[in-house]
Amino acid sequence: MNNNLRQYTKKNLNKSFLENFFSNISVTMWLIIANILFFIVEEILLYINPNFIDYLALRPAFAIQGKYLWTFLTSMFMHAGLAHLFVNMLSLFFIGVFVEKLIGKKRFLLFYLLAGLFAGAFFVFLSAFFGTFPLGIKIFGDPNIPGLGASGAIFGLLGILAVLTPKAKVYLIAGPLIAIILEYVLEGMLGANPILNILIVIIQIYFVFSLLAMISFNSKLSKFALPLKISFWLVPIAAILPLVIIGLFVSLPIGNMAHFGGFLAGAIYGAYLRTKYPKKVRLLNKMIPQ
């Protein structure tokens, strides 16, 4: 035992500062770093040629024909602007760190990637086969419009928690989401009305302010972000169902089917873990405040 301890200590002492630093970074943080780097590359490529979007984002009409199949993976690391990136990475940080501790680094990374791929496949299948008529487009998405973002994989993590720790409480930040929806609703209602520009500026100011308030750790400021404390099992319902209903009347740039696909993958894996480790799951739920 002492010899093993000495070898372990010697091994760690011989590590350089950078080796120690990088070995302590969580998988969640590595994924966040990867998303940020990919976003920078994405912006550069699209600035050079906007048509590069076909090689980065997942377009169901192409994928169903077997074209650009690598976009199932690349689309998971692409985002439609800084706001989209910021919201997804903030969600990934808070949810990912928790799930990573529950299931371990290797399982977490493998599941994250598989959930994102499954979410993409789910989106492609439904959009390509059922998004061929007006109502189908509103529910399942237009197969000619590409999808991108990490939210499918993130909803997979939510799916795990919804099954493993259904009664645990979490804050759903409603303010920024409401701002995005309101902007598109007003655009649909007002069209080219000059008042629309003023309202959009106000909404965007609130959007940025609510994001800053959310990470300010000031309880009074954070209320402006409209945090809603709900149980984990309610999060996917609250985050998907209202958007599907609103999408019937207003075109929203949100991949509901990818979100649902990711959640479904997480729920299935969560059910597997709950069945395989019933005692650990019961102990976990006793430790987490309900």
CATH code of the domain covering residue 266: 1.20.1540.10
Look up the domain containing 28 and give its range: 18-167+250-287
Largest CA distance in the chain: 77
Residue 190 lies in a domain: no
Asked if residue 14 has pLDDT above 60, the reply is no
**pLDDT tens digits for range 239-250:** 888 888 888 887
Q: In angstroms, rounded to a whole number, what is the distance separating the alpha carbons of residues 94 and 263?
A: 17
List, for residues 206-260, the tens digit of each pLDDT value.
Answer: 888 887 777 777 777 788 888 888 888 888 888 888 888 888 887 777 888 999 9
138 is a domain residue: yes
The DSSP call for residue 279 is H
> Residue 4: inside a domain, yes or no?
no
Picking from 73-77, 125-129, 188-192, which range would have the lowest pLDDT averaged per residue?
Answer: 188-192
Query: Is 203 inside any structural domain?
Result: no
- Examine residue 108 and state whether it is found in any structural domain, yes or no: yes
Q: Which pLDDT band, with edges at 50, 70 and 90, does 4 fall under? A: low
Q: Does residue 157 form part of some domain?
A: yes
Handedness of CA 113, 114, 116, 121 (dihedral sign): positive
pLDDT at 22: 54
Query: What is the pLDDT, as a whole number, of residue 17?
Result: 47
Answer yes or no: is 240 within a domain.
no
As a whole number of angstroms, the distance between CA 149 and CA 75 comes to 6
Predicted pLDDT of residue 197: 83
Does residue 158 have a pLDDT over 60?
yes
- Which tens digits make up the pLDDT trace of 136-150? 998 998 999 999 999
Q: Determine, yes or no, domain membership for 209.
A: no
Over pLDDT 70: what percentage of the chain?
91
At residue 19, the pLDDT reads: 52
- Reply yes or no on whether the pLDDT at 8 is more than 50: no
Structural domain count, the chain: 1
Confidence of residue 32 (pLDDT cuts 50, 70, 90): very high
Distance, in Å, from the CA atom of 93 to the CA atom of 97, rounded to the nearest integer, reads: 6
Whole-structure pTM value: 0.85
* DSSP one-letter code for 66: T
pLDDT-derived band of residue 124, with 50, 70 and 90 as boundaries? Answer: very high
Q: Report residue 160 as tokens.
A: 């795990």
> Quick one: pLDDT at residue 12?
52
| 3-state SS class at 58 | strand
